[in-house]
Structures are given as C-alpha cells and as structure tokens.
C-alpha cells in the first residue's frame, strides 16, 4: 500500500484512526497498530510479510538472549548470528542477482541469475533490527520482553517501507506509554498533508521534467544535462522528504516522536554539511555503527570513512552507479576532512555554495543513470560545447518555470521561518493559526484531484 493513493487517504487511514482512538489503553492501541501495519504491508506483498515476521522473531530472540547472557562471549556470538542473518537476508533478496551478473561478466560464465522481487522496505527494517541488536549488546537499551511490542517497533506502518530508520531507543518509552494531545494530532495531520503535497504536487510533476531532460541524454546539450540533474535532485528531495513528513506526521498522531530525516539540505555550504542535513537517519546509522568498526584490528579513520561511503552506495541499490555515487560523495568528504573545518570556513561563502551545489547536481546525475554507458554519456555531456540548450528543452523549462521556481523556494526553510515569526509576533501567529486549516484543506483537495487521473508514481525510496 502507498501513502499517495486515494484508498489509503480516505479509507485505510480513517479506519485505522477510528479504531485507534476508540481503543482504550496503550496495549489495545498497540494491537490496533500492529493489525493495521500488517495489513498495510501485506496489501501489495502478502508473501513477504512472513519474511518480515521471521526477521522480527530472530532479532527479538537475539535481544532476549543478549539480556540473559549479559556482557559475555555468548552475547557477542548471539549478536553476530543475528546481524549475519539480517545481512544475509538483505543480500539474498537485494543483491543476489547483481552478484551473479557480475560473476558471469567477470569469468565469462553462464550461471543462472536469480530474479527475486525486492521486498518493499527491507533495507529500512533490516537496519532497524541491526541497530536494536547492537544497542542491546552495548546495553544502551533494555531488551524488549514482549514480542508483540517488538513487532510493533518493526512493523509500524508510518515508517515501515521507506523510513526514516527509527532507533528503538527513540520510541522505547512510547511503546509502553504515550498520549496524543490535540496539538499532536493537529500538527501530525498538517504534516501529513504537507508531505502528500510535496509528493503529488511537486515531486511527481518534476519527474516529468527530469525524465524529459535526462531520458534522451545522447542528444542533450551540456545545459540540458546540468538542468536535468538539478531538477532530479529537487524531485528526489521532495519525494523522499515528503514521505518522511507523512511518516513523522502519522507517528505524531499516534503519539510517537520520530527524529527528523531532512533539514533543508540544499542550504549546505559543503558536502559534509549536506550529509548532516540529507537522509539523517541513514547517515547517523552508519556513523554510529560502522564508522569506528576496527579494520584489521584497529580503528582507522580513513578506512572507516571509505567503508561508510561504500556501504552508503551499496545500500541504495544493486547497481554499479550507486557504488560510484557513494564513493563519489565519500571522496569529497575525504577531501574536506583533509582541508579541515577551519580552512574550509576561510573559503569565500559564494565559492563554497557554488562548489557544493555543483557536486550535488553531478551526484544526482550519477544516481539517476543505472546504465553505465548512459552515465558515461552524461559525464561527457556535462562538459561538452555547442548550443547552450535545445529549443525543445527550452520550451519544456519555460512551460514549467513556475513549478521550478516554487520547488527551489520551498526547498528552503520558508515554512519554519513563518512558524518562528508566529512565535515572536502575535499578529503573525493569529493569521497563521487562522489560515493553516484552510491551506491544509486546499492542499489536500488539490492533491486528491491530481491523484484521480495521475499515473502511478510510487515513492522513489520504496525500491531501496
């Protein structure tokens, strides 16, 4: 099931909310969420729900055993088995075809290539189970004794299929006891509508422009290649941050406080800052669980950095362009680390912004092209000479000029700026509180109308 479907918005969600708020007590509310979460996941992939349940059972048992064994070799062995199982499942379902294709190519073999459909959200809930087991081993969380409550953590439908990656420590107390105030519900629903609008009104429309500019890369000009990658960067941002808004908003309605996953990443002044603002839950996961892993017996600063960015690329997909994408960003962060924060700050701000945006735009071009031949063409086009932009591409950009300007403006903290102003000035706060319901209603209506005739546009991060 997908958030940006009329069935979810007007049937599934109202039924879930009604049952949830009718239920009395946290245990009853948890049961409602587990039921609707399992229905949500099984709606499109009924078979793979057993895979998720198996993963939940393995990691729940591992947590219980680690709690029983304490600080001992048995705990470390248990954690190792659980993590190996998690990674093996992810490897089989996500990377087995990619691995066999490369073996065949490298050794001129003809081994059968498995064609396994990727279970939605497996990368997200696998990382959640890994973080839980490691935190139990490090004794930063108390192992959950109830499988039902642990299953709620793993299967919670707002963030199940495309994140953010929620740590158990973030919602540990709220699984046991929580309360949804009127303010929480109001904030959550408005956040859900905002996320839906980001997806339907902006991201899905940008996808048409990006595909038109980059789809025929062989005939594109340098300007079209740069413009296409820039539009695609905006599309990814509004698509994924829109999903995160919906997940965070739904969580708040149910009384859960998920961490933010995006903080206006295009405001960054360098690539290090970009990744402190973009997909924060993934970045902090790798930072906390992988960056300081001993390599050949020692913690190696640059070796850990290389490992993190290699895994960041691989996590995003079973294709070489994602590996290149991860190492590409890792290279620039490595360079910035060598330069140092103080010397980076001495570089004029304008130059830092131009540098960071150019790197980001090229990076999303790498992300777009899974075909390495087309990726090579994209790089050649970026620095080609000739016409600045073709007539057809120029017409396309002019016809979508208002959309592009709107996307650029809304990628900056306009809404949070208004919220800060409303906190300082009574008049702004009054106008904001009076107009917000009408704005939200208008966005919901417009999104719903656009969904009626819209071709299916699943959230991009579903495939990861």
User: What is residue 130's predicted lDDT score, i.e. its pLDDT?
Assistant: 94
**Distance, CA of 61 to CA of 85 (rounded, Å):** 13
User: For the ranges 58-67, 263-272, 451-460, which has the lowest average pLDDT?
Assistant: 451-460
Give the whole-angstrom CA distance, residue 130 versus residue 281.
14
Spatial CA neighbour of 455 closest among 1, 43, 5: 5
Which stretch, 2-6, 174-178, 392-396, has highest mean pLDDT?
174-178
What b/e string do you get for 229-255 counting C-beta neighbours within 10 Å, with b at 16 or more?
bbbbbbbbbbbbbbbbbbbbbbbbbbb
CA distances from 309 to 81, 240, 280, 303, 333 (A): 24, 20, 14, 10, 10
Report which listed range, 215-229, 389-403, 445-459, is most confident.
215-229
Angstrom distances, CA of residue 429 to CA of 193, 343, 352, 416, 423: 20, 41, 35, 13, 6
* DSSP β-bridge partners for residue 298: 295
What is the Cα–Cα distance from 274 to 302, expressed in whole angstroms? 19
Which residues are 295's β-sheet partners? 298
Nearest to 206 by CA among 357, 364, 313: 364
CA distances from 17 to 29, 50, 140, 185, 334 (A): 10, 25, 33, 11, 47
Q: What average pLDDT does this structure show over 28-37?
A: 94
**Which DSSP category does 265 fall into?**
G
Give the per-residue pLDDT at 114.
82
Comparing CA positions, the residue from 235, 242, 259, 103 lying closest to residue 174 is 259
Q: Please choose, from the candidates 258, 249, 260, 261, the residue with its C-alpha nearest in 3D space to the C-alpha of residue 186.
A: 249
Higher-pLDDT residue of 379 and 291 is 379
What was the pLDDT predicted at 240? 92
Q: Using 50, 70 and 90 to split pLDDT, how confident is the model at 434?
A: low
* Averaged pLDDT for residues 15-40: 93
Residue 443 to residue 4: CA distance in whole angstroms: 13
Residue-by-residue DSSP string for 136-169: HHTTSSPPPS-HHHHHHHHH-TTTTTT-----HH
- Asked if the model's pLDDT at residue 43 lies above 80, the reply is yes
Exposed/middle/buried for residue 462 (C-beta within 10 Å: 0-12, 13-18, 19+): middle
Average pLDDT over residues 142-170: 89
Structure-token pair, residue 277: 């603002």
Q: What is the mean pLDDT of residues 63-91?
A: 92
In this prediction, residue 428 has a pLDDT band, given cuts at 50, 70 and 90, of very low
Of the residues 316, 353, 387, 457, only one is catalytic, namely: 316
d(CA 108, CA 373): 20
316 included as an active-site residue: yes
**Looking at per-residue confidence, does 458 or 216 come out higher?**
216
The pLDDT score that the predictor gives to residue 430 is 58
Helix axes 122-137, 147-155, angle to 10 degrees: 140
pLDDT of the residue at 414? 76
Q: Dihedral sign, CA of 411, 261, 458, 227? A: positive
Residue the block writes with tokens 């062995």: 77
Average pLDDT over residues 416-428: 59
Angle among Cα 359, 327, 109 to the nearest 5 degrees reads 130
Least confident residue range of 55-59, 98-102, 199-203: 98-102
Q: Which stretches of 198-221 are DSSP H helices?
A: 204-215
pLDDT tops 70 at residue 302:
yes
Whether pLDDT at 39 is above 70: yes
**What is d(CA 329, CA 194) in angstroms, rounded to the nearest whole number?**
30
Mean pLDDT value of segment 192-218: 92
Percent of the chain with pLDDT over 70: 92
Q: Over range 438-455, report the average pLDDT.
A: 83
Instruction: State mean pLDDT over 387-391.
Output: 75
Q: So what's the pLDDT on residue 426?
A: 60
Q: How confident is the model over 360-370, as a mean pLDDT? A: 95
Question: Residue 389 pairs with which residues in a beta bridge?
Answer: none
Q: Across residues 351-363, what is the average pLDDT?
A: 95
What is the number of residues in the chain? Answer: 464
Q: What is the CA radius of gyration of the chain?
A: 23
Say if residue 425's pLDDT is above 60: no
Q: Tell me, what's the pLDDT at 363? A: 96
Q: What is the pLDDT of residue 195?
A: 93
pLDDT value at residue 237 = 95
pLDDT at 278 over 90: yes
- Residue 178 three-state SS: coil
Q: How confident is the model at residue 429 (pLDDT cuts 50, 70, 90)?
A: low
Average pLDDT, the chain: 88
Q: What is the spatial distance between Cα 56 and Cα 409, in angstroms, rounded to a whole number? A: 42
Average pLDDT over residues 274-278: 94
Q: Mean pLDDT, to the nearest integer, of 369-385?
A: 91
């Amino acid at each position: 099931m997908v958030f940006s479907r009329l069935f979810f918005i007007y049937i599934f969600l109202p039924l879930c909310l009604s049952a949830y708020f009718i239920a009395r007590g946290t245990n009853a509310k948890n049961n409602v969420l587990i039921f609707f979460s399992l229905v949500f996941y099984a709606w499109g992939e009924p078979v793979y729900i057993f895979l998720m349940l198996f993963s939940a059972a393995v990691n729940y048992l591992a947590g219980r055993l680690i709690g029983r064994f304490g600080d001992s070799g048995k705990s470390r062995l248990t954690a190792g088995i659980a993590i190996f199982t998690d990674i093996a499942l992810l490897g089989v379902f996500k990377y087995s075809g990619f691995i066999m294709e490369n073996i065949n190519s490298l050794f001129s073999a003809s081994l059968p290539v498995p064609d396994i459909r990727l279970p939605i959200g497996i990368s997200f809930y696998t990382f959640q189970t890994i973080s839980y087991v490691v935190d139990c081993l490090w004794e930063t969380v108390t192992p959950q004794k109830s499988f039902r409550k642990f299953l709620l953590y793993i299967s919670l439908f707002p963030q199940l299929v495309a994140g953010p990656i929620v740590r158990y420590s973030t919602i540990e107390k709220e699984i046991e006891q929580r309360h949804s105030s009127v303010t929480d519900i109001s904030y959550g629903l408005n956040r859900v509508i905002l996320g839906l609008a980001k997806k339907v009104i902006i991201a899905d429309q940008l996808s048409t422009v990006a595909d038109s500019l980059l789809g025929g890369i062989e005939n594109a000009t340098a300007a079209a290649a740069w413009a296409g990658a820039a539009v695609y960067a905006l599309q990814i941002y509004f698509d994924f941050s829109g999903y995160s808004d919906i997940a965070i908003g739904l969580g708040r309605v149910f009384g859960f406080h998920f961490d933010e996953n995006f903080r206006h990443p295009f405001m960054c002044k360098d690539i290090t800052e970009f990744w402190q603002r973009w997909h924060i839950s993934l970045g902090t996961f790798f930072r906390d669980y992988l960056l300081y892993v001993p390599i050949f017996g020692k913690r190696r600063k640059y070796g850990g950095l290389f490992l993190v960015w290699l895994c960041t690329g691989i996590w995003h997909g079973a294709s070489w362009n994602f590996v290149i994408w991860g190492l590409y960003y890792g290279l620039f962060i490595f360079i910035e680390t060598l330069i140092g924060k103080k010397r980076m700050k001495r570089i004029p701000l304008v130059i830092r912004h131009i540098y960071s945006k150019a790197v980001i735009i090229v990076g999303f071009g790498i992300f777009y092209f899974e075909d390495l031949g087309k990726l090579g063409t994209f790089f050649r086009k970026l620095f080609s000479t000739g016409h600045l932009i073709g007539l057809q591409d120029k017409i396309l950009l002019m016809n979508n000029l208002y959309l592009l300007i709107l996307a650029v403006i809304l990628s900056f903290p306009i809404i949070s700026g208004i919220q800060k102003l409303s906190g300082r000035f009574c008049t702004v706060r009054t106008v904001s509180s009076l107009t917000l319901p009408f704005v939200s209603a208008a966005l919901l209506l417009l999104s719903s109308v656009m969904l009626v005739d819209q071709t299916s546009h699943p959230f991009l991060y579903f495939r990861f």
